[in-house]
């Protein structure tokens, strides 16, 4: 178990967050990741609300769904897909105006929803003005040291006369030199400007797992000096999350370990996988991240929709019971609540980023109500947000764990079988099942409904 020396993490409680992740270019059906930059890419038309305004128009529904934090982005001016920044100080012209975004944040706050944005501080587009200066002036550029790995003894695929480091081998994404104090100061001031001008509540740091932790700590400390309850989550795909939690002082980290376990434990009929991951991460004595509310998600803008990954669609029901009852922060990717489908191809992520208009044409209203109910249950019961975690029963298709907070106990039980199943009762006595609105007298066995679960509280 890790302890945190930073007093901020001891004072600010983020366990209550229920996050709705919006990729805005896709949300409004306004993205083609293969499109070129202006003037050939699509532009806003006078007869349709901007994507940001479309999100504003959906805030009432999101509030009713139970959302209290919006994670939106990227929103910086970019060349194609949002993660190739052109200008950190401008809203992407395809999304709307600065006034639109100010209104979005303001109206979200009025509804009790905080707003965090996706920041891409690891790399920029080749169209970024300072890199353009380097292309034009070469060794005479004032920004020569702003980019990582500049080497005039080598050439790059664009034939610029020098080589440079990239993000993941993509030469259209130029890696910034975050050890350069001028670069660090520029990016930190960028974040502070967004706090001052738009009153944002936090950042999701793209590619945080390959970024300099001294810069990330500088960014975290600077933002919290301006706004003490500022929330920062780092993206990490592989490995332990200690580096981002401790060295960079992240409030949360993307939980890719459980993301994989969520669907594969269901597809393989093997709850042992997710049970092992949860125990490893969150068990009361010895869990790796018991003090850190990880960012728990079933899918996002980079991976296949979970409904297209699950072999049995009905498994979404026990899946979302689990998402809202395990330790950490539940994150819904837009359209999850309607059962949106989509798989990436070798060349495109468009199917992962469909418009809400298209998603709403085939909604799963039962799933929507289920997720809405789970959000309400989570908000109401402190053991689900703050409680300790302990595995109680693990079988191939049945699973039960205990969440406990200040002597309050909640048993969360799951059945991924197409048939009803009995498991050993996790405790003896009278319990209220708040998921199914039933009162049960347990003295040995517990009946679980097919592809469903129980949430049990002692009566």
Q: Supply the pLDDT for residue 8.
A: 39
Q: Supply the pLDDT for residue 30.
A: 67
Q: Supply the pLDDT for residue 234.
A: 98
Are residues 253 and 204 part of one domain? Answer: yes
Q: Supply the pLDDT for residue 46.
A: 54
Are residues 99 and 207 part of one domain? Answer: yes
Are residues 354 and 375 part of one domain? Answer: yes
Residue where a domain stops, chosen among 155, 177, 199: 177
| Residue 169 tokens, joined | 């081998």
**371-391 burial, b if ≥16 CB within 10 A, otherwise e?**
bebbbebbeebbbbbbbbbbb
Dump pLDDT digits (tens) for 21-71: 999 999 988 655 444 344 344 455 556 789 999 999 999 999 999 999 999
Angle among Cα 405, 410, 412 to the nearest 5 degrees reads 135
CATH of the domain at 450: 2.60.40.1180
Number of domains in the chain: 3
Query: CA quadruple 79, 82, 88, 93: dihedral positive or negative?
Result: positive
CATH of the domain at 200: 3.20.20.80
**Mean pLDDT on 115-132:** 98
- Average per-residue pLDDT for the chain: 93
Are residues 396 and 379 part of one domain? Answer: no
- Enclosing domain of residue 134: 123-177
Are residues 366 and 241 part of one domain? Answer: yes
**Mean pLDDT on 385-407:** 97
**Per-residue confidence band for 7, with pLDDT thresholds at 50, 70 and 90:** very low
Are residues 307 and 346 part of one domain? Answer: yes
Question: Inter-axis angle of helices 316-323 and 365-380, to 10 degrees?
Answer: 20
Are residues 131 and 19 part of one domain? Answer: no
2 within a domain of the structure (yes/no)? no
Are residues 268 and 201 part of one domain? Answer: yes
Residue where a domain stops, chosen among 177, 203, 222: 177
82 within a domain of the structure (yes/no)? yes
Dump pLDDT digits (tens) for 274-325: 999 999 999 998 999 998 999 999 999 999 999 999 999 999 999 999 999 9
68 within a domain of the structure (yes/no)? yes
Are residues 399 and 371 part of one domain? Answer: no
Q: What's the start-to-end Cα distance of the chain, in Å? A: 32
Dump pLDDT digits (tens) for 353-391: 999 999 999 999 999 999 999 999 999 999 999 999 999
205 within a domain of the structure (yes/no)? yes
Are residues 365 and 436 part of one domain? Answer: no
Assess whether pLDDT exceeds 60 at residue 230. Answer: yes
422 within a domain of the structure (yes/no)? yes
Q: Which residues contact residue 204 at a Cβ distance below 8 angstroms, ignoring those fewer than 6 apart?
A: 71, 73, 116, 117, 118, 119, 232, 233, 234, 235
Q: Supply the pLDDT for residue 47.
A: 64
Q: Supply the pLDDT for residue 361.
A: 95
Are residues 372 and 336 part of one domain? Answer: yes
CATH of the domain at 132: 3.90.400.10
Q: CA dihedral defined by 138, 139, 140, 143, rounded to 10 degrees?
A: 80
**Mean pLDDT on 97-119:** 97
Q: Supply the pLDDT for residue 347.
A: 82
1 within a domain of the structure (yes/no)? no
- Percent of the chain scoring above 70 in pLDDT: 93
* CA gap 132, 203 in Å, rounded: 27
200 within a domain of the structure (yes/no)? yes
Dump pLDDT digits (tens) for 202-225: 999 999 999 999 999 999 999 999
Residue where a domain stops, chosen among 140, 159, 177: 177
- Percent of the chain scoring above 90 in pLDDT: 89
């Amino acid at each position: 178990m890790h302890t945190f020396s930073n007093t901020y993490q001891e004072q600010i409680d983020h366990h209550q967050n229920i996050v709705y992740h919006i990729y805005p270019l896709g949300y409004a059906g306004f993205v083609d990741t293969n499109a070129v930059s202006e003037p050939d890419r699509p532009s806003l038309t006078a007869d349709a609300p901007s994507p940001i305004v479309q999100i504003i128009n959906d805030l009432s529904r999101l509030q009713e769904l139970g959302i209290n934090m919006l994670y939106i982005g990227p929103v910086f001016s970019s060349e194609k897909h949002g993660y190739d920044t052109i200008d950190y100080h401008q809203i992407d012209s395809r999304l709307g105006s600065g006034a639109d975004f100010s209104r979005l944040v303001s109206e979200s706050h009025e509804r009790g929803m905080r707003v965090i944005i996706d920041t891409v501080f690891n790399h920029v587009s080749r169209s970024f003005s300072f890199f353009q200066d380097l292309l034009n002036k070469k060794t005479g550029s004032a920004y020569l040291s702003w980019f990582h790995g500049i080497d005039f003894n080598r050439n790059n695929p664009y034939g610029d006369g020098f080589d440079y480091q990239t993000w993941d081998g993509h030469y259209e994404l130029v890696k910034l030199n975050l050890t350069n104090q001028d670069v660090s100061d520029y990016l930190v001031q960028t974040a502070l400007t967004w706090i001052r001008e738009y009153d944002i509540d936090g950042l999701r740091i793209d590619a945080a797992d390959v970024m300099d932790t001294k810069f990330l700590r500088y960014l975290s400390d600077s933002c919290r000096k301006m706004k003490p309850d500022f929330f920062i989550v780092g993206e990490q795909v592989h490995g332990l999350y200690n580096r981002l939690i401790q060295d960079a002082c992240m409030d949360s980290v993307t939980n890719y370990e459980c993301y994989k376990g969520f669907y594969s434990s269901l597809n393989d009929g093997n709850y042992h996988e997710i049970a092992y991951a949860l125990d490893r991460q969150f068990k009361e004595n010895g869990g790796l991240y018991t003090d850190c509310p990880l960012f728990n998600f079933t899918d996002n803008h980079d991976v296949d929709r979970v409904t297209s990954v699950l072999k049995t669609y009905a498994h979404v029901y026990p899946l979302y019971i689990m998402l809202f009852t395990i330790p950490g922060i539940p994150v819904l990717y837009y359209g999850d609540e309607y059962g949106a489908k989509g798989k990436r191809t070798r060349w495109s992520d468009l199917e992962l980023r469909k418009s809400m208009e298209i998603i709403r044409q085939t909604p799963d209203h039962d799933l929507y109500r289920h997720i809405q109910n789970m959000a309400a249950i989570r908000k109401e019961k402190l053991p689900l947000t703050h409680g300790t975690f302990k595995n109680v029963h693990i079988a191939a298709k049945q699973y039960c764990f205990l969440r406990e907070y200040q002597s309050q106990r909640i048993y969360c039980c799951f059945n991924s079988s197409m048939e009803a199943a009995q498991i050993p009762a996790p405790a003896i006595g009278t319990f209220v099942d708040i998921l199914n609105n039933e009162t049960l007298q347990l003295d040995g066995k517990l009946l679980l409904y097919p592809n469903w679960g129980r949430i049990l509280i002692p009566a």
